[in-house]
Amino acid sequence: MKIKFLFIFFFYILGVSAQDKLVLFFDFNQDFINQKSKMEFNTWLEKSKDKEIFKIIGYCDSVDSNSYNDELSLRRANNVLTLLELNKVQISEKCELTGLGEDFQQSKNRSENRKVVLYYQLKALQNPSSQKKSDKEKIVETAQDKNAVTNAPENQSAFIEKINNAKVGDLIQLENLNFYLNSEKIMAESQSILSDLLQVLRMNPRLKINIHGHICCNNNPNDVRLSYRRSKFVFDYLIRNGISTSRLGHRGFGSNRPIYKLPEKNEAERIANRRVEILVLKK
């Protein structure tokens, strides 16, 4: 019994010691990694097949307001997560994703504060006690893995496929890009779809789009101000991250084109109506 305990303890210590981190840096006020970090990420990627990410933490320098830096650091963390998923890096189901903003021990060199830290470890050492499984358990797990892939929500790869298959004139809803009531501020869980759209535009340099904003709960057909701000929020995000204005346009439609008839019956319908869509102008 003592030998078994020591054996398990050895693997536990080995697993802890195998944890490592990768630090990726950003240019000022940007939420995608800079060129130097892209090269370092690509080098790390070649050796990451046996790695699993279990923590992603975003940071900012102390320029701008605390609330803005909180949001920027979270965008940085989410964009790195998207980058990892694009490159099929293993992400732990319990992966912790956090934006700390400027609330940490700041370096005097501000460029060192604009970063995301990835924590990872060897997949085989994540849970050594689960390595030995019966054939029956392996069959069940294989079936579950297949179901997970089959039943996975339409994620970034599905979004890319939808754009690639789209024709000029097609209107595509940015699913899960939702806004708070009477605000152009997006809900926290919607950040990843912005990252997806940015990646699509970067991967398709000829793609030109028009961004359409919509609102809920307002029967006045002439009130398009909030929907305009929502479309501009997406427009500004893309511009800040390097997409040329020549590839983008935006406008607000108010509540003139609702998915659900006004007045909406519940909050789910209201959330669906306050949305953003993109019109494909050129491919």
Distance of alpha carbon 279 from alpha carbon 146, whole angstroms: 34
pLDDT number for residue 124 = 53
CA distances from 25 to 32, 59, 134, 175, 210 (A): 9, 9, 44, 29, 31
Q: Are 95 and 56 in contact (CB under 8 A)?
A: yes
pLDDT number for residue 61 = 95
- pLDDT tens-digit readout, 29-40: 998 899 999 999
- Domain assignments of the chain as residue spans, ordered by start: 12-128, 156-282
Residue type, 15: G
Residue type, 47: K
The phi-psi region of residue 279 (left if phi > 0; otherwise alpha if psi is between -120 and 50; otherwise beta) is: beta
Check: CATH 3.30.1330.60 for 156-282?
yes
CA distances from 72 to 5, 29, 98, 123, 157 (A): 45, 8, 11, 30, 24
Q: Is 238 exposed, middle or buried (0-12, 13-18, 19+ CB in 10 A)?
A: buried
CA distances from 273 to 126, 173, 215 (A): 43, 11, 6
Distance of alpha carbon 236 from alpha carbon 245, whole angstroms: 9
Residue whose structure tokens are 């209107």: 171
Q: Are 178 and 277 in contact (CB under 8 A)?
A: no
pTM comes to 0.48
Residue type, 215: I
pLDDT number for residue 139 = 34
Distance of alpha carbon 257 from alpha carbon 275, whole angstroms: 10
Distance of alpha carbon 223 from alpha carbon 99, whole angstroms: 35
**CA angle at 93 for the pair 92 and 94, rounded to the nearest 5°:** 85
CATH code of 12-128, in short, is 3.30.1330.60
| Residue 136 token pair | 């029956």
Distance of alpha carbon 254 from alpha carbon 265, whole angstroms: 18
pLDDT number for residue 151 = 37
Residue type, 138: K
Report which of 74, 62, 78 is spatially closest to residue 113, judged by C-alpha positions.
62
| Residue 210 token pair | 């028009």
Low-confidence ranges of the chain (pLDDT < 70): 1-19, 124-157
pLDDT number for residue 172 = 93
Domains 12-128 and 156-282 share a fold: yes
pLDDT number for residue 207 = 94
Residue type, 34: N
Report which of 264, 200, 194, 259 is spatially closest to residue 231, judged by C-alpha positions.
194
Q: What is the 3-state secondary structure (H, E, C) of 12-40?
A: HHHHHHHCEEEEEEECCCCCCECHHHHHH
pLDDT number for residue 106 = 93
3-state secondary structure of 128: helix
Q: Are 81 and 118 in contact (CB under 8 A)?
A: no
